[in-house]
Amino acid sequence: MASKKEETKKEAKEKEEVVEEVEEEEAEEEAEEEKEETPLDKYKKAGEVASKIREHLREMAKPGVKALDLCETADKMIAEAGMKPAFPLNVSINNHCAHYTCPWEDELVLDKQDVVKIDVGVQYDGFIADTALTVAFNDVHNDLIKASQEATETAVKVIRVGGYTGKIGDLIENIIEGYGFTTIRDLSGHLLLPYRVHGPKTIPNVSGRKGNLILQDEAYAIETFASTGSGESHSDRTKLYIVRLAEGRFPLRTDAAKQVRRLLDREYHRLPVATRWIYKELGTAKAKMGIRELVQVGAIYQYHVLADVSDAYVSQHEHTVYMTPEGPIKTT
């Protein structure tokens, strides 16, 4: 027969085991809750990081600062947050509308006369935050910047589930033309999908289009541009600094091309990639050779720099929204 002392020890041990079991169950439940992040949770997390980077770069962008420093700062901040880029930081200046990211060893320096568009893309588990702003270093372009800012902010307020994106285009064009500028007619806001920056639905920046039906649980990048120029962007075929792996299978001849394809597929999930990242990973000679072959066989989608007429100035503002029955949730 056991003594009282032995019984007390036994009871204490049983209590410790019960406590340990409860703690293990709670830890498992917490881990399970962490695993069960919703799409909105992921959009919010990506948006929080993208917004922080956007605001940091707003303060960092000054005359005399190298554009490459802005790009590398964005790369570093995304990595430190444990996330990945949805696309390379765009630093599109003056008449450039989009797709300028710094090439390898770029020496471009911001000038006091510049209008600088900073477009940030962050992805968390494939869920994307896309946000942009414009900075200038004198008051000459204040109205140009206000035009795209007001257009974007107003569109964020009015977008609704069950509406059509074309109605938003009417609003955007009216606001920008009210400031005396023109929209960039061939650029638009866009549906965001996992690991896909440009989904099949668009939010036009011009009036007169029906657009697409907006559904619950969709995410959109609302993106507007105001221009002093023609309002039409053209591709500068001499400037290719962003690429993306195209869909399909393509026979490749060289090991360099195969390595570039593998990098774009496995590391970047076929999202847009800066050529400088490829150079850094594989070396300049191999990267150039691989990219050249991929372009030749049509295995790469090319994001040439887009620009309005040479003497134009263009502003841009952008936010990501997640659609709910109660209204949009701005994640950036």
- DSSP secondary structure of 280-304: HHH-HHHHHHHHHHHHHTT-EEEEE
- The single residue of 114, 218, 293, 318 carrying the catalytic annotation is 318
Q: What's at 301, amino acid-wise?
A: Y
- The single residue of 190, 218, 308, 317 carrying the catalytic annotation is 190
Quick one: pLDDT at residue 36? 86
Tokens matching residue 66: 């190298």
- The single residue of 75, 114, 119, 308 carrying the catalytic annotation is 119
Ranges of beta strands (E only) in the chain are 84-85, 90-93, 96-98, 115-124, 127-136, 189-192, 202-203, 219-227, 234-245, 273-274, 300-307, 314-324, 327-330
CA distance 182 to 322: 28
Quick one: pLDDT at residue 261? 96
Q: Bridge partners of 115?
A: 136
Q: List CB contacts of 174: < 8 A, sequence separation 6 or more.
A: 207
Q: Annotated catalytic, 114?
A: no
Tokens matching residue 53: 């980077």
The angle subtended at Cα 317 by Cα 245 and Cα 205, nearest 5°, is 80
Quick one: pLDDT at residue 1? 43
Q: For the whole model, what pTM was predicted?
A: 0.88
Q: Determine contact, residues 98/233, Cβ cutoff 8 Å.
A: yes
Distance of CA 32 to the CA centre of its chain: 29
**The residue to which tokens 């639905």 are assigned:** 201
Nearest to 246 by CA among 235, 234, 257: 257
Quick one: pLDDT at residue 24? 73
Q: Annotated catalytic, 16?
A: no
- The single residue of 130, 150, 173, 218 carrying the catalytic annotation is 130
Q: Annotated catalytic, 223?
A: yes
Q: Bridge partners of 225?
A: 316
**The residue to which tokens 């800012």 are assigned:** 149
- The single residue of 198, 234, 269, 304 carrying the catalytic annotation is 198
CA distance 95 to 114: 10
- The single residue of 218, 223, 293, 308 carrying the catalytic annotation is 223
Cα within 13 Å of Cα(18), Cβ side: 6
Q: Annotated catalytic, 318?
A: yes
Q: What are the pLDDT tens digits along the chain (332 aa)? A: 455 555 566 666 666 765 666 677 776 666 555 568 999 999 999 999 999 999 999 999 999 999 999 999 999 999 999 999 999 999 999 999 999 999 999 999 999 999 999 999 999 999 999 999 999 999 999 999 999 999 999 999 999 999 999 999 999 999 999 999 999 999 999 999 999 999 999 999 999 889 999 999 999 999 999 999 999 999 999 999 999 999 999 999 999 999 999 999 999 999 999 999 999 999 999 999 999 999 999 999 999 999 999 999 999 999 999 999 999 999 99
**The residue to which tokens 């029906």 are assigned:** 210
